[in-house]
Amino acid sequence: MTNNDIFKKLRVAHQLRDDDIIKILSLVDFRISKSELGALFRREDHPKYMECGDQILRNFLNGLVIHLRGPMPPKGSKSTPKKKGSE
C-alpha cells in the first residue's frame, strides 16, 4: 500500500474535502496548493499524478491529530483528565 492509498483512505474515512486537508496541513505550517493536492489523489497512470512523499503524509497525520484532539498543552502544565464519576 502506498502513501497515496493511505492518504486517500484517510480522506474518505474522515469525510475531508480539499479545503479541509489544506487547513489541517496549515496547522503544522505545511503549505500545499489545491492543484498539488489534486495530483496526489489522481490515478497512477494519469500524466499529472504525483507520488505522496513521507513528509506530506507525516505532516498530514500530525495536523490531523491537532485537528481532532486540539493543540497539545504546554509542557509543565499539570492538567490531568478527570475520571468519570469522581467529582
pLDDT tens for each residue of the chain, 87 residues long: 999 999 999 999 999 999 999 999 999 999 999 999 999 999 999 999 999 999 999 999 999 999 999 887 788 766 656 666 655
pTM of this structure: 0.78
**Count of C-beta atoms within a 10 Å radius of residue 52:** 19
Q: Collect all residues with Cβ–Cβ distance below 8 Å to 25 and sequence separation of at least 6.
A: 31, 32, 59, 60, 63
The region, left, alpha or beta by phi > 0 then psi within -120 to 50, assigned to residue 15 is: left
Instruction: State the DSSP code for 46.
Output: S
Contact in structure between 25 and 59 (CB atoms under 8 Å): yes
